[in-house]
Amino acid sequence: MTDEAPASLMLDEMSWVDVAAHLARDARLIIPIGALEQHGPHLPLGANTLIASRIARDLSESHRVLRAPPVNYGVNYYGGEVHPGRAWAGTATLRRKTMHRALNELLYSWEPHGISEFILVTAHRYGPHLDALTTLMTRAARVRVVSVWDVDISDLLETQTEPLHAGEAETSVLLHLYPERVRTDRARDEPPPGGGLNGDRESLPRPRPDGVGVVGFPTHASAMTGQRIYRRMLNVIGRAVFSAPATADSDTM
């Protein structure tokens, strides 16, 4: 055995010896939390997981903090719903209490290994999903929940005042991070049916049952906007959670 730091900070790519050695130096663990739900005809079902996983990876590497494999499922409003003549094919959900129990059991397993802080990163804003995360219990370890879309990006958007489902913001970020997974030829705008968040994640405008599964204006998305949004997220979260930006780059161009 050597004292050299492992090349990877992913738990599933490390030996238990390397994990133990790293936790002796830094007792934090980042856990990306995703969801499997429709994001219109132009984005993948795993959009929330892709974004959360990338942010978790970049935070982990910038601050040398261990990270767990992503939790690919979340609590979805759309899970299993079949509207007249339409089903959001492939979308799946866990119940809030199931999600809560599963994560509690994971944290219960990890905490005795010496972890003093769990940092949960999610890009899925549905209220019951976030409730499952913010009510987790540990023996003594701190649990921090980072909802990446809570970062203010209103000044970076062209046609929307807030990030909505599969709209300008999400599509832009995916164009920046994973352009090969975005079908821009399929993007269709569906304006929000009035109203906004009003401070309540439960009041997020939802896709129309007879629509394509979008709330907002994905046709106005761009990779450049996505880069600006992503930098903003990474730096705001880095400062809030680690008291330092996650990258030396400016969050605006």
pLDDT tens digits for range 201-224: 555 677 877 788 899 999 999 999
- Tell me the average pLDDT across 130-143: 96
Q: What is the pLDDT of residue 135?
A: 96
Show me where the domains of the chain are located: 11-242
More confident residue, 253 or 113: 113
- Checking if the pLDDT of 82 tops 50, the result is no
Q: Which fold has domain 11-242?
A: Rossmann fold (3.40.50)
Q: What string of H, E and C letters represents the secondary structure of the chain?
A: CCCCCCCCCEHHHCCHHHHHHHHHHCCEEEEEECCECCECCCECCCHHHHHHHHHHHHHHHHHCCEECCCECCCCCCCCCCEECCEECCCCECCCHHHHHHHHHHHHHHHHHHCCCEEEEEECCCCHHHHHHHHCCCCCCCEEEEEEHHHCCCHHHCCCCCCCCCCCHHHHHHHHHHCHHHCCHHHCCCECCCCCCCCCCHHHCCCCCCCCCCCCECHHHCCHHHHHHHHHHHHHHHHHHHHCCCCCCCCCCC
pTM (two decimals): 0.89
Q: How confident is the model at residue 140 (pLDDT cuts 50, 70, 90)?
A: very high
- Considering the chain, what is the average pLDDT of its residues? 88
